[in-house]
Amino acid sequence: MNKLKIENVSYRYSNHYQTTYALREVNAQFQSGQFCVIEGKSGSGKTTMLSLLAGLDLPSEGTIYLDEKSYRELDRDKLRRKQLSIIFQNYNLFPMLTVQENIAYPLGLTGRKKGNWKERINEILESVGLNETMQKKFPGMLSGGEQQRVAIARTIASEAPIILADEPTGNLDTANSGRIVEKLKKLSHEDGRCVILVTHDPDIARQADVLYRMSDGRIVEKKNRIGDR
C-alpha cells in the first residue's frame, strides 16, 4: 500500500424524516509508515470517516482511492480481509471464542496457511504485553486493557497494511492508553503500516505524524509533523 486518498467525500445518514450530513467535502491523504490521527469532538464525523475508509459503506459523494483505485471498483469485503484491520473502542472481540481463536479468526478468512500459527500467536501476544496463559481465556475474563491488546494482536496477526483504530483508548486508563498508543506508533514506524487513529484526546493527537482536526463533518485543520520526527 502506498497511498489512501479521500477526495471531496461527503456522507449523509437519512431516514424517513430527515437527512443528516456526517461528512462534507472532506479531503485527506494517508501513507504507509505514518501514524495519522483524526481528532474531533463527538459528532464531528471522525468515526464515519473511519468507517468509509474501512469500506463499510461508500460515500454519498466523492471518492476514496487506494493506490489510485476507487473503492467503488474494489471488492470491499476483500479489502477488509487483506488490506485493512479495524480496532474498536469497545474491543469487539467474539465473546464465545478464546483469545487464541479471536486472534486466529482473520487468518481463516484470508485463507492463509496457518503453519506454526500457535507460536506466531504467542509471539504476537508477547509483543502486545500479554502472556501465553491468556490464549485459552475468553474475552469476558480479561480487563478492558487486555481486551484491547488482544484486538491489536488480532490486527497484527492479520498483517493488514492499514490499521484503522476508532478511539482505541476511549475505555482505558492512562497507563493502558499510553501502552496501546505506543504499540500503534511502533506498528506504523517500525512495521511500515499506515495507522489511522480516531480520537478526541489532545494528548494522543499531539503524538501524530499527520493530524486532521474535524468539526461538523469538515476537516478544519491539518498538521504534518513528519519533518519533526
Partner 1 sequence: MYRIKYAVRNKSRSFLLILISFIFISFIFIYLDSIDGNYRALENLGEQIPVSICLTDVSGIRQQGLRIQEKTADHLEQLDVKEKVLTAESYGNVSRGGQDKEKISVFLTAANDASAFLLEPESLTVSMEEFETMLSEDAGVCLLSREYAEERGLDCQPGDVLELNLYSGKYDEIGQVDGFEKVASTQIEIGGFFQGRVYDSIMTEEPNVICSADWLRGQYAAEGKPFYYSSARGVVGNPMELNAWKEKARELSFFPMDTQKPEDIAQIALSVDDRNYIQTASKIKKNIEILKIFVIPVFVLLILLEALIFFLSIHNQKREIFLMRCLGMKRFEIILQLLLEGSALAVIGSGAAMAVLLCAGYGFPADTWLKVFLAFMAVQFLGSAFSAVLVCRKNVLYIGKTY
Segment (H or E) for 167 = none
Find the binding residues for partner 1 in span 161-220 (CB under 8 A): none
What does each C-alpha distance from 35 to 73, 94, 196 come to in angstroms? 27, 27, 6
Does position 86 interact with partner 1 (CB under 8 A)? The reply is: yes
Q: Specify the 3-state DSSP secondary structure of 77.
A: helix
Query: Nearest distance from residue 220's CB to partner 1, in Å?
Result: 23
221, β-bridge pairs: 213
Does position 80 interact with partner 1 (CB under 8 A)? The reply is: yes
Fill in the per-residue mask, 89 to 108: x = in contact with partner 1 (CB under 8 A), - = not in contact.
---x-x-xx---x---xx-x
Does position 48 interact with partner 1 (CB under 8 A)? The reply is: yes
Segment (H or E) for 135 = none
Minimum CB distance to partner 1 smaller for 157 or for 211: 157
Q: How many CB atoms lie within 10 A of CB 200?
A: 16
10 Å CB burial of residue 229 (0-12, 13-18, 19+) is exposed
Dist. CA 70–CA 9, nearest whole Å:
12
Fill in the per-residue mask, 9 to 38: x = in contact with partner 1 (CB under 8 A), - = not in contact.
----x-------------------------
Minimum CB distance to partner 1 smaller for 101 or for 201: 101
Contacts to partner 1 by CB under 8 A: 13, 48, 51, 54, 56-57, 77-82, 84, 86, 92, 94, 96-97, 101, 105-106, 108-110
